[in-house]
Amino acid sequence: MLDKKTILACFIVLISLGNSAFATTISIIDQHGQPLADAVLEIPVSQSTKSDLSVPLIMDQVDKSFAPIVLLAKKNSLVSFPNSDDIRHHVYSFSAAKSFELKLYAARPKSPIKFEQDGIVVLGCNIHDSMVGYIYVHDNTVTLKSNEQGKIEIDEVPSSAKSFFLWHPNAMKGVEHRDTLPISLLNSKEKEQTLTVITKTPAPRNTFGELSKHAH
């Protein structure tokens, strides 16, 4: 016969299972079956938990590239833009979610920049046209990015969620577009789920201004 402690423990587990559905691994691939790094999966939740936004996130510049290419930032986060190269950079964005400019500088700007609005912020360098990065600003606690193998590990899916967003900077529909998909795709009992994003190869552009113009 089960004692009271065992019965209570079983009851708590059942309640927990009733509040969330579990998935293990989400694999993000393109239309050719190739893994997609830097894909973002965002699950809207009814209540957002408080986060410590006092410590700036880091968007570095290394070997004439942004590092990381895609940075996840909760709304109202501060982001610092250190320059780890031995040359100067001129970072700026024309995006609707955040327009700003850090004129030609080395080392680290005096102050971080605050990102108050949800959306995709496309970054560029006025000196080095090939430098393009992204800040994905969100207001949800369940927002995850795929690794180099295109994998995203999810511990639990909130039971209140009805749908989720899937985004990639090279999506065929444009950098501002997010696919909205039913949450049932993440609630399967399968150990691994595969999601496909139709992508395109970015065309070479002479200036970051032209890239930003085509993004809207």
pLDDT tens-digit profile of 120-133?
A: 999 999 888 889 99
Predicted structure pTM score: 0.83
> Taking Cα atoms as reference points, which of 128, 80, 73, 86 lies closest to residue 100?
80
Last residue of a domain, one of 116, 131, 154: 116
In the structure, what pLDDT confidence band is assigned to residue 205 with cuts at 50, 70 and 90? low
- Within a domain: residue 6? no
79 falls within a domain: yes
| 36 in a structural domain | yes
- Residue 75 Cα distances to 135, 140, 143, 182, angstroms: 11, 9, 12, 24
Q: Which residue has the tokens 């609707």?
A: 96
212: helix, coil or strand?
helix
Same-domain status, 38 and 76: no
Average of per-residue pLDDT across 46-55: 78
Are 153 and 106 found together in one domain?
Answer: no
Residue 81: domain span:
50-116
* pLDDT at residue 99 tops 50: yes
Looking at the fold, whether 32 and 81 belong to one and the same domain comes out as no
| Domain-located, residue 10 | no
Contact 127, 16 (CB under 8 A): no
Tell me the residue type at 90.
Answer: H
Task: Please state the rounded mean pLDDT for residues 153-171.
Answer: 92
Alpha-carbon dihedral of residues 193, 198, 201, 207, nearest 10 degrees? -110
Q: What is the pLDDT of residue 182?
A: 95
Least confident of 103-107, 119-123, 175-179: 103-107
Q: Are residues 145 and 211 in the same domain?
A: yes
How do residues 62-88 score in pLDDT, each as one tens digit?
999 999 999 999 999 999 999 999 999
Cα separation, 94 vs 214, in Å, equals: 11
Secondary structure E strands in 2-150: 20-21, 25-29, 40-43, 57-58, 60-62, 65-67, 70-74, 77-80, 89-94, 99-105, 113-115, 119-125, 132-138, 142-145
Q: Do 77 and 179 sit in the same domain of this protein?
A: no
Reduced to 3 DSSP states, what percent helix, strand and coil does the chain have, rounded to the nearest 5? 10, 40, 50
Give the Cα separation of 119 and 141 in Å (integer).
Answer: 15
Are residues 206 and 42 in contact, defined by beta-carbon separation less than 8 angstroms?
Answer: no
In a domain, 2, yes or no: no
